[in-house]
Amino acid sequence: MASKSRARATLGLFLFFHALYALTSSGNAFRVADEFEVYFQTESLVDRGDISVPQTLQIRPGGQPIFFGKFGLDGKPYAPYGPLAAVLALPHHLAGRAVASMLGVPRLPQDKGLAWVIFVGGITMLTTATGAALAVAGFHRAALALGTPAAAAIWLSLLLGGATVMWPYGTSLYTEAWQAATMIWAAVFLLEARAGSSSAARRVAAAALLLTITGLIKATSLVFLLAFVIAAFADTSLTREQRWRTAVVLAGGIAAAAILHLGWNTYRFGSMFDFGYNWTETIPAPPPRAFLLTEIPRGLLVLLAAPGKSIFLWAPILVLAVLGVAGWWRRDRALTLGVAAAAATGIVVYAAYLFPEGGYSHGPRHLVPIIPLLALYAAGPLASRWSPAALAACAVVGISLALPAVLVSYLEDQGLRRDPSGRPVPGYYEVIAPAQGRPNNRYRLDYIPFVTAMSSPQWASEQAPMGMGPDLFLLHLQQARRQLPDGRNIPESFSWWWPPLWIAFATVGVVMIWRSLVATGSPATPPGDRPAPESAPTD
């Protein structure tokens, strides 16, 4: 019965957060290359059977090309993103095409109208709602596998999904939500395998496959994955033979991702180590130096302390996680070392990176994939010790950043601005004289999010240009209907049934979560109001 209640809670969390992220989805896939080129990859996969992006050569807003990447050996333009990003978005893209066909939205040549692309692109973006919701559900299941009391696991999952940067990344087309999902579910399978499951070998193999998928979504995610091998070697609950076997299988999964990426690079560009990035626009003195040790101190300030990027501000559940590290070191050194390795490698590597802030984005974009893993430090048998006040404080801080991030487009708030004379105006970036191989614009440590956009007189205006104003799919569709030549091809009726559909899913999720909380005996009481289970060890 307890197992059924816990499974119901996991499914309820997935349904609720998928609905929340879908309802608040930006629906605007056409802001920066990291989003629109992933959409175009997916579109090309259906239209041409490959993931080249010739669409970027045809659309030139303001007369400027929007292609970011390189031309391959076959003469086709390729984006510098992993091949699986488009594959993961394919089901949602096909659903978007099906809905467009059902509603009679015609697909016109791009020089005749863009209503179909805007409409289908908005539905395609729901791929990250699925990924982020899976990450929350995976965290819940991992927390239970670590012995977290059922009610505490639910409350912590609600905090992760609704009061961290996971929410905004469930509403954009960046791939970080999917990376978070694949890594936390890899952790789930490994935790359940070491618990003595009869299918332990299959679970380890599934974890290795998920690590391969993670690396193929985005090559830079490989920096996190060695942590899984470290955790396997450190797991004294397994025999030496079991540790080696698990570590070798996981290392094989990671190696497979690396080999496939290198082969993909060779196929496209004729060089294993050419990932397709073209930095000529921002790096005045090539060749690019992607990582620079001397930049680590400043990069650490960006990722840990800057108000616009601090991982602790954008994911305050990690404050609880830090407080839980000592207890986990005494209880489970394999988990402690594995999560710490993921955090250390990610933070240090990205602190040295060209753009530690993650480019135009909300919060610490590069670190989003490991937030569910880091949050596991807040879970476990002792999670009942978190007081309602502590949980409420994390919720208030997290929602105070996540909700505006959902409503305000990062590009509208962070875009490079110039005064009437053409000089750059300090904002998200400052223009500098860089070292050779480094970019000429640098993230400003004192950037305060949302101030610029919210102070704009046109931000909430119905007459705002397309993609401006509140960053919500249905509002952007209304702009498209008014401003595009073929905008009236998008039926008004879509806006009538789209919200009720997701509200129904959210309601089902809430009911399932509530029933699971009722089964714990105290449905409306955060864990701190109840004593820890008698079986829970003390510090």
Write down the mean pLDDT value for the chain: 89
Q: CA nearest 207: which of 143, 142, 259?
A: 142
Distance of CA 493 to the CA centre of its chain: 31
366-369: list long-range contacts, CB under 8 Å, 24+ apart: 366/176, 366/220, 366/303, 367/303, 367/311, 368/165, 368/166, 368/169, 368/176, 368/177, 368/179, 368/180, 369/176, 369/179, 369/180, 369/183, 369/214, 369/221, 369/224
DSSP secondary structure code for residue 87 in this structure: H
What three-state secondary structure class fits 234? coil
Beta bridge partners of 417: 425
- The number of C-alpha atoms within 13 Å of 492 and in the hemisphere containing its C-beta is 1
Low-confidence ranges of the chain (pLDDT < 70): 1, 59-65, 197-198, 417-420, 422-426, 455-463, 521-539
Q: CA nearest 317: which of 533, 151, 165?
A: 165
- Residue 467: how many other CB atoms lie within 10 Å: 20
Specify the amino acid at residue 534: E
Q: CA nearest 46: which of 113, 145, 120?
A: 120
Cα separation, 313 vs 400, whole angstroms:
10
Put simply, whether the predicted model's pTM sits higher than 0.95 gets the answer no
Q: Is there a contact between 167 and 21 (Cβ–Cβ < 8 Å)?
A: yes
Cα separation, 438 vs 287, whole angstroms:
9
Specify the amino acid at residue 512: M
Q: Is there a contact between 348 and 495 (Cβ–Cβ < 8 Å)?
A: no
Specify the amino acid at residue 332: D
| Residue 491 CB burial class (10 angstroms; 0-12, 13-18, ≥19) | middle
List the chain domain ranges. 2-7+127-407
Q: Which residue has the tokens 């080129």?
A: 37
Residues 6+ apart with CB under 8 A from 305: none
Q: Is there a contact between 379 and 152 (Cβ–Cβ < 8 Å)?
A: yes
Q: What pLDDT score was predicted for residue 525?
A: 62
| Residue 286 CB burial class (10 angstroms; 0-12, 13-18, ≥19) | exposed
Beta bridge partners of 424: 418
Cα separation, 211 vs 182, whole angstroms:
7
List the structure tokens of 87: 């594959």
- How many angstroms separate the most distant Cα atoms in the chain? 70
The per-residue b/e assignment along 171-187, b for 16 or more CB within 10 angstroms, e otherwise, is bbbbbbbbbbbbbbbbb
Q: What pLDDT score was predicted for residue 239?
A: 87
Specify the amino acid at residue 112: K
Q: What pLDDT score was predicted for residue 417?
A: 67
DSSP secondary structure code for residue 49 in this structure: S
Cα separation, 382 vs 386, whole angstroms:
8
User: Is omega for the bond preceding 287 within 30 degrees of 0, making it cis?
Assistant: yes
List, for residues 332-344, the tens digit of each pLDDT value: 999 999 999 999 9
Q: Is there a contact between 302 and 309 (Cβ–Cβ < 8 Å)?
A: yes
DSSP string, 313-371: HH-THHHHHHHHHHHHHHH-HHHHHHHHHHHHHHHHHHHSBS-TT-SSSSS-GGGGGGH
